[in-house]
Structure 1
Amino acid sequence: MTESYRKDICENKYFRPNEKFFLNRIEEEKIPHMHSHEDCVEIAYVSSGQGLHKIGEQEFSVHKGDIFIINGNIPHVFFYDKTKKYEPLVVCNCLFTLDFIDYNLTNTNNFFELSNNYFLRELFPRDQNVELIKILNHENSDIEEIFEKMLREYFLQEQGYKEVIRAYIIELLVKVLRLYGNESDMSEKINYRNKKVIDNSINYMKAYYNRKLSLESVASMFGYSSNYFSKLFQKNMRISFIDYIQKYRVEVACTLLRKDETTTISEIASNVGYTDVKFFKVVFTRITGKTPSEYRKTIQ
């Protein structure tokens, strides 16, 4: 995936003449770049498969049923993790200008301006400073059915299709915001889930500290990209993944140095997961301020 970034102005890039909305269903290979939709809002629904969704600097592991409402000017991209043998990632997209829903909302791409619309007023989250709404791990047949109906209307273009699509978008927004409202403490739930992932990853590292551990392998175990897992670990533990595992290995090494004077430094290094004794000594000295030999002498 290229990291190039492009702004796609909706009216010129996507919309058909005399329309203020766009719908499609697409596999991730056809969305290879970070992009934003300058004049409109996007509702994205993961129809099938698994992959990743990068939004700004955040990265999410996504699965069938995940839903995102993304404000204009927020760069994002769905992409398939080619290191995994997942079913192809298929995403349904609905792009629309806000004045298509509410005639009063011209010259804005802020989704939360819709909070004053009488259809949606009571459904909006209290905190309207967020840049997107995301609902993860929530398969919902209603959402998929609405997208199917919208796609049919969009491609057939039968008489009155614009009004029907407008009604479906409002229904879609109500259903999504209802889900969001049912998870009003969603951020707490996500934080709890993330904390649990970090706790489990730490338990795993403590159990297998003497094996080869990498950020990529541990992140993959819990379904995260290495970049996102690294940031998540740092945020929760106030220490990087690498520093944490090095610190824990040195703590175990100190215990071994105290426990058995006959074990060589090389053996201790190997016992705590280091194949390079010189590197082990460098890490040990950096963390304790003493070489392994000096540390052993201080406790004799």
Structure 2
Amino acid sequence: MNSAEHVLKGEAFFQKNLLLYVNRATETYLLPLHSHDFIELAFVAEGKGFHYTEQEVQKACRGQLYFIPVGVSHVFRPSSPHSLKEPLVVYNCLFTTALLDDLAFVIPDAPIAAYLEQIKNQQVPAFSMTDQNGSIENLFLSLHREYNLPQTGSGSYLLTLFIQLVVTLYRLQHDELHFPVTRQTQFLQILHYIQQEYAQDLTLSHLARTFDWSERHLQRLFKTHTGQTFHHFLQNVRIQKSCVLLIQQLHSPIPLIAEQVGYHDTKTFSLVFKRIIGKPPGGYRQEAASTGAAHAGD
């Protein structure tokens, strides 16, 4: 594709002195090839399609992350014109070089500070990578939830999540190139597996058979690395996923949400949800919808 004439301006996205913008979009054929005066991180959360830049076209599928610098022309396209049947869903994190200037004063690690400086000075070209362990997806989900359901301290919390995202990108680009797979990395793969298969009937014995570890050792690793038992870790993953679905699917009944995250008994789901979140699913959805409407009216 040729260079884009359509340029997106940051002033249309950045509000209230927050130099960061996060959204979730179902890609269509409406947006033309475009560039922008800000930096973009785009994560494919669902479906498949294509990512076009000036020089090439890449297949886009779930788990792919794209870094698009200032001035680079690009666009996503679903694999089919029938986007409702085969949607390509992308989370976008947009940020300015001014944000990187602000963060330079709070980053104590020299390699990360240098990485931010390189991004700011457009010394990092466009790239893509695969989310191997689910860490990128989790950060995008948290960023999107915090941005769209702001609470006291959301500005600070968003910046901490953004810093985590930058550090994660740096590690994936650098550290994993030099170190072989370790037992800790294998355990991270188990956590990623749970993040992907949480709606299934997961048990500790199933994980032990799948990854060839003893149940006792696996339970000990969960306590050491997550501070929770496997059972409580799985509960937290399912409930956090349900929080996202309750907002995304405002008209879906609670029993359907429960089933989508692995609970076949709505009463059990509601009890666990209230224990972890502090309110029942219906109350959480109502409060989230009210907060979102109030934020939209600001």
Give the structure-1-normalised TM-score. Answer: 0.50
Unaligned runs of 5+ residues in structure 2 are 179-298
The DSSP-based 3-state class of the residue aligned with 1:77 is strand
Q: What does the per-residue CA deviation read over 1:255-288, in whole Å, with 9 as the maximum and x for residues that have no partner?
A: xxxxxxxxxxxxxxxxxxxxxxxxxxxxxxxxxx
The answer on 1:97 being equivalent to 2:96 is yes
| Structure 1 counterpart of 2:128, one-letter code | K
Counterpart pick for 2:125 among 122, 125, 131: 131
1:150 aligns with 2:143: yes
2:2 and 2:16 map into 1 onto residues whose CA distance is 31
**In structure 2, what is the Cα distance between the partners aligned to 1:3 and 1:126?**
23
2:173 to 177, 180, 186: 180
2:287 corresponds to which residue? Answer: none
Are the equivalent residues in 2 in contact too, given 1:101–1:170 (CA < 8 A)?
Answer: no
Letter in 2 for 1:101: L
Q: Which position in structure 2 is the counterpart of 1:16?
A: 15
| Other-structure match for 1:46 | 44
Alignment of 1:274-285 (within 5 A): none
Contact 2:2 2:54 in 1 (8 A): no
Gaps (5+ residues) in structure 1?
Answer: 106-114, 186-300
Following TM superposition, by how much is the alpha carbon of 1:121 offset from its aligned partner in structure 2, in angstroms?
A: 4.0
Q: 1:81 aligns with which of 71, 79, 82?
A: 79
What residue number does 2:69 align with? Answer: 71
- What SS does the corresponding residue of 1:29 show, helix, strand or coil? coil
Query: CA offsets, 1:128-173, max 9 Å, x none?
Result: 845212114x443211111111111111221221111111111001
**1:2–1:32: 8 Å Cα contact kept in structure 2?**
no
Q: Between 76-85 and 60-69, report the one with greater CA deviation.
A: 76-85
Larger radius of gyration: 1
CA RMSD of aligned residues (A): 3.7
Does the 8 Å contact 1:31/1:77 carry over to 2?
A: no
Name the SS of the counterpart of 1:103 in structure 2. helix
The percentage of aligned residue pairs carrying the same residue is 28
**Could you say what secondary structure the match of 2:75 adopts?**
strand
Structure 1 residue runs of 4+, over 3 Å off?
A: 1-5, 83-87, 115-119, 121-130, 182-185
Which secondary structure does the structure 1 equivalent of 2:102 belong to? Answer: coil
| Contact 1:55 1:75 (8 Å CA) reproduced | yes
User: Structure 2 CA distance, aligned partners of 1:28 and 1:139?
Assistant: 23
Contact 1:20 1:100 in 2 (8 A): yes
CA–CA distance in 1 between the matches of 2:80 and 2:162? 33
